Amino acid sequence: MASPLTPRARDFPRWYQDVITQAELADNGPVRGTMVIRPWGFSIWERMQGEIDARIKDAGADNAYFPLFIPEGYLQREAEHVEGFSPELAVVTHGGGRKLEEPVVVRPTSETVINSFFAKWIQSYRDLPLLLNQWANVVRWELRPRLFLRTSEFLWQEGHTAHATADEARDYALRILSDVYVSTMVGVLAGPVLTGHKTARERFAGAIRTWTCEGMMGDGKALQMGTSHELGQNFARAFGIQYSTATGAQEYVWQTSWGASTRLVGALIMAHGDDAGLRLPPQLAPIEVVVLVVKEGEGVAVAATQLVTELRDAGHRVRLDDRVDVSFGRRSIDWELKGVPIRLEVGPRDLAGGQVTVVRRDLREKKSVPVTGAAQHVLDALVDAQRGLLREAQARMEERTARVKTVDEAAEAATAGFATLPWDAVGVEGEARLAEAGVSVRCLQRADGSLALAHDEPGLVAVVAKAY
């Protein structure tokens, strides 16, 4: 059976849509731009949530929940913020059968409502730092929706913190960037990322500094994987969030906010997918190994069940597929589409010779192995597949990143991948020219790839690319 997908080389966006449909990841909702996340897609998101949530808790933040509805007036308190979000708002004008006195907006992000509570909860330096996170749906009306990447409603986590000093706020924003986002992207999603800060043009509406991690997709375009903002005292002043210091003075707090969303599922598809479908890194995969009964036969059921048990006992996520009423070919293709890292095929013919077949999704490579050592072989393959996917994505990012010197060269290079050039050679004007070619500055960093902490540090490098 042939793959039901459009080849990537022929039409990458169409391949992306095909994977989502064929792997049963998501569907368009009935209201324009909304999305139904189907069980397989949702189980991937749940795994991402679990990994990110554990890291957020390790960083000392507590989960909480703030309301979906925000009074329209709240958004207007921070000037840049309202300007940034106004065009994307969904507005509720009627509730309980009546016209509302003041319309309410559906949260596009929760800075305004959360900070109105920070103002109430924070009184003294003893209340700091205040470190909260919420998992929620948010709504930003989309004119050109694309599943997972740009949807009118999406799921995310948004962290919001308040600190006594600017340095503490920056340290925390950077800690989230490295210990939550980069750690999850590289360690779990097997996706290498570049880190840096955004230009004024690309910064979050209301932030003084936006830190970002950017990944490269299979077509060479960039995707922002997570951002961590220093908000300075902008919201503190807008919402009156003050604390009394140990000496009794009144000071405004320094804040951060940071988020990652269901876009990551889109990133995962485009970072690792191939012409046969999704390829999931084992660390993330909801099912790491599917034990596939090829067809019924002597000892097959027993052998398959035993392999499942052995792998589960070793702490892995394993599914038994013994639906022998569905053709072997159909099931193989489906598991490939869904990206399960290892397929362990157990059939009567192989088994008579004491063998089973191990199929690696990342390499699309089949191997006959003795049934006795099969579980250990699979465990090793899982480790190798995780490393292999990261290495492959790293090699692509290196190959497809051009070092250039001028804005024109950068625009040209960005048709195939990333380009890096001195930020001095770009500047605000160059950035505007790049934008005309659909290219943006993804981040600024030092020449060695490290983060530039000072606002006006000389010698910065701009990473530019077309982006999702």
Binding site for a copy of itself (CB under 8 A): 27, 29-31, 34-39, 42-43, 45-46, 62-71, 74, 86-97, 103-104, 106, 113, 116-117, 120, 132, 136-137, 139, 141-143, 152-153, 155
Smallest distance from a copy of itself to CB 55, Å: 16
Give CA angle at 11 (10, 14), nearest 5°.
140
Q: Which is nearer to a copy of itself, 132 or 174 (CB)?
A: 132
- Is the dihedral angle over the CA atoms 459, 463, 464, 468 positive or is it negative? negative
CA–CA distance from 301 to each of 146, 291, 355 (Å)? 43, 11, 14
Q: Which is nearer to a copy of itself, 15 or 148 (CB)?
A: 148
**Are 232 and 255 in contact, with CB atoms under 8 Å apart?**
yes
User: 369: which residues sit within 8 A by CB, 6+ positions away?
Assistant: 355, 356, 357, 358, 377
Smallest distance from a copy of itself to CB 457, Å: 37
Q: Which is nearer to a copy of itself, 106 or 441 (CB)?
A: 106
Instruction: Copy the structure tokens of residue 164.
Output: 């006594």
Cis peptide before 422, with omega less than 30 degrees from 0?
no
Smallest distance from a copy of itself to CB 115, Å: 12
Q: Is 259 helix (H, G, I), strand (E, B) or coil?
A: strand
Smallest distance from a copy of itself to CB 153, Å: 5
Q: Which is nearer to a copy of itself, 33 or 273 (CB)?
A: 33
Question: CA 238, CA 351: separation in Å to the nearest integer?
Answer: 71
Smallest distance from a copy of itself to CB 344, Å: 22
Give CA angle at 246 (132, 161), nearest 5°.
15
Smallest distance from a copy of itself to CB 220, Å: 30
Smallest distance from a copy of itself to CB 440, Å: 22
Q: Which is nearer to a copy of itself, 67 or 370 (CB)?
A: 67
Smallest distance from a copy of itself to CB 222, Å: 25
Question: CA 395, CA 410: separation in Å to the nearest integer?
Answer: 20
Q: Which is nearer to a copy of itself, 98 or 455 (CB)?
A: 98
Q: Which is nearer to a copy of itself, 63 or 376 (CB)?
A: 63
The residues facing 194 across adjacent strands are 214
Long-range (24+ apart) CB contacts under 8 A made by 90-95 are: 90/139, 90/141, 90/152
Q: Which is nearer to a copy of itself, 14 or 120 (CB)?
A: 120
Smallest distance from a copy of itself to CB 135, Å: 9
Smallest distance from a copy of itself to CB 77, Å: 12
Question: CA 235, CA 329: separation in Å to the nearest integer?
Answer: 57
**Are 105 and 134 in contact, with CB atoms under 8 Å apart?**
no
**Are 199 and 211 in contact, with CB atoms under 8 Å apart?**
no
User: Rg (Cα) of the chain, in Å, rounded?
Assistant: 25
Q: Which is nearer to a copy of itself, 136 or 223 (CB)?
A: 136
Q: Which is nearer to a copy of itself, 47 or 163 (CB)?
A: 47
Could you please report the per-residue DSSP string of 440-453?
EEEEEE-TTS----
